[in-house]
Structure formats: structure tokens, C-alpha cells
Structure 1
Amino acid sequence: MTDLPTAGDSGWSDPDTLGAIPPVVAMTYCARCGNSANKGNHVLCRQRLAAEPPVHCTTCRRTLAVERSGREWTATCKKHGQTTGILQDA
């Protein structure tokens, strides 16, 4: 589990929040493998992303619908919309 307190944790006593829900930790995902971007080594993923369009949304981990035209690509997440990019020369 996580070290962060939950809203139901009676031990949470931050005077700045006055009993509000504690802050949410944002999770980002690898656009290639879909695993947490904060855990593990994604050097190979970054190398492949230079030559291939992304597979996963970095915000929600959904599989992207990708359209490719030459070196340009457009990836669409159902929840977060479109992103575009240009692939490097191989």
C-alpha cells in the first residue's frame, strides 16, 4: 500500500487542510509499456518511442488509437484527447 494517509485515517492532522482529504499523488505511465513511469528503467521504452508512436496514454494508461502518416503520428485517448508528434529518422 502507500504511506500517504487516506480520508478515513483519523491520524491525519495537517493544520493546513483542516480535516480535508489529503493531497492526491499523480500517477504517470510509460507511453510504450504502460507501467508506472516512476518505477523501473524505461530507457529501452524511450528509445523505441523515438522510432514508434506511443501505445498507452501517460495519464490513464488506456490503449491509444494511433494514426500514422509518414513520420507524423496522431494518438487519441478516449478520455484525454489527441496528441501528435514526429518520429525521428531511423
Structure 2
Amino acid sequence: MTGTYCVHCGEPLAGSEHPRCHTPRTALEPPRFCAQCARRMVVQVTPTGWEARCSRHGACTSEGTG
């Protein structure tokens, strides 16, 4: 997922390195913030994956669809 905002902390990507957001641990976690608008997303984690939904930009899943 690419965009203007960090999906782990919601801060703008431009001009910041986000060292705490880019660790091996966070690579396995679902996004918590929308990459397009930085809104907090509704995240549902299941045994087989996850789905994250932004009220404005829709859903994304661990399978990469959406």
C-alpha cells in the first residue's frame, strides 16, 4: 500500500524516516491508518489474514485485493 501517509502511525511520509514504523515486527501487522487520508481504519484480524477499511477509501486485505 503506497500513499502520502504512514499506515502504522498516520504521519506524513514526506520529510520523515519513521524508524519505529519500519521494523520486522510491523511488516507483519495490518495497516492502522489510511495511506491516502491518514484516517484511522477499522481492522479485522482473522486466523487466515486481515481486512482494513477506511470510511472514505474502502477496504484492503492481506490477500492484496480491494
State the TM-score bracket (shorter-chain normalisation). 0.7 to 0.9
**Which has the higher Rg, Structure 1 or Structure 2?**
1
* Aligned partner of 1:61 among 34, 38, 46: 38
RMSD: 1.8
Structure 1 residues 19-58: aligned runs within 5 Å:
28-47=4-23, 48-58=25-35
The Cα of 1:53 is off from its aligned counterpart by: 1.1
SS at match of 1:46: coil
| Inter-partner Cα distance in structure 2 for 1:70 and 1:46 | 24
| Inter-partner Cα distance in structure 1 for 2:62 and 2:19 | 19
Number of residues paired by the alignment?
Answer: 60
Match of 2:51 in 1: 74
Identity across matched positions, percent: 37
* 1:35 maps to amino acid: E
Q: Which runs of 5+ in 2 are unaligned?
A: none
Task: Give the ranges of 4+ consecutive aligned residues of structure 1 lying more than 6 Å apart after TM superposition.
Answer: none
SS at match of 1:44: coil
Bigger relative contact order, structure 1 or 2 (CA pairs below 8 A, ≥6 apart):
2
